[in-house]
Amino acid sequence: MSLGAPVSEAELSAFLDGELADARARDVAAAIEADPALAARLAAFSADKAMLKDVFGPLAATPVPQDWVARAQAPRRTRPWRSIAALAACLMVAVIGGALYLRQPAVQEREIVAAALAARDGKASGSDVAGAVAGQINDVASQAAHVRVKIPDLKPMGYSLTALHVYDGGEGAAEMIYRDGRGRRFSLYVRRSDGKPRFDQFAQGGERICVWQDEELGMVMSGDVSTAAMQRLASLAYTGLTL
């Protein structure tokens, strides 16, 4: 890359972690020194990583409980891998922080992302579920998404469920709408996976988008949140859906 090449989010994160090649690191350092906006982005990245370390750091050093080990070694029954996968995924987020999520995906190839954003923007034909009691809403979402899920509780991050939309066309899906105390929207779109695990986070249209898919469940989250906040919301949502 030339000296004048723009500094991407991935490069900024790598610079913060000391992972850039020496020549590019010097270019990025010079760009940061010359550009207050870029310096502010670096400071925000540093603050996000510090928060992640405070929140998730102790988890990485915590021994895996023996009963979880026993469950992993037990004969397979009804989809035990999903619980193990959820726990392993959260440990992965704790250990690697934001590096994995800063990979820029080929958005045009992410059909599930296009479907989720169409639902978020009201461009998909769906139904608004109203009046469902707590014991029924999980079943409604599961039937729509064609995969067993539970409505995640995102209140630890300040978000409360305000709406549930279901989509019967195509693959079938459910969209959960959350809002925080300031009215900011966070969307969680779920449907059956195409079987290809994916872990992506990127910025698009002024929001952060996170794609998290395992062998059975595919989910797309979107909201006006920071990289670190999206990682925490993603962990909370994934474990809430699958455990």
For 2-44, the pLDDT digits (tens) are 456 788 877 887 888 788 888 888 999 999 888 888 887 787 7
pLDDT at residue 132, as a whole number = 53
pLDDT at residue 4, as a whole number = 61
pLDDT at residue 170, as a whole number = 67
Chain centroid offset of residue 207 CA: 12
pLDDT at residue 184, as a whole number = 93
Distance CA 62, CA 83 (A): 18
**What's the fold here for domain 66-242?**
Phosphorylase Kinase; domain 1 (3.30.200)
Domain residue spans of the chain = 9-54, 66-242
pTM of the model: 0.60
Distance CA 48, CA 54 (A): 10
The two three-digit tokens of residue 23, written as one number: 């020549």
Distance CA 159, CA 114 (A): 24
Mean pLDDT of the chain: 77
First to last CA, the chain: 45
pLDDT at residue 97, as a whole number = 45
Look at residues 91, 141, 116 and name the one whose alpha carbon lies nearest to residue 209: 116
Burial of residue 64, with CB atoms counted within 10 A of its CB: 0-12 exposed, 13-18 middle, 19 or more buried: exposed
Look at residues 146, 128, 125 and name the one whose alpha carbon lies nearest to residue 193: 146
Distance CA 92, CA 85 (A): 10
Instruction: Point out the residues of the chain with pLDDT beneath 70.
Output: 1-4, 47-110, 130-135, 169-170, 243
Residue 176 DSSP SS3: strand
Distance CA 59, CA 158 (A): 21
pLDDT at residue 94, as a whole number = 46
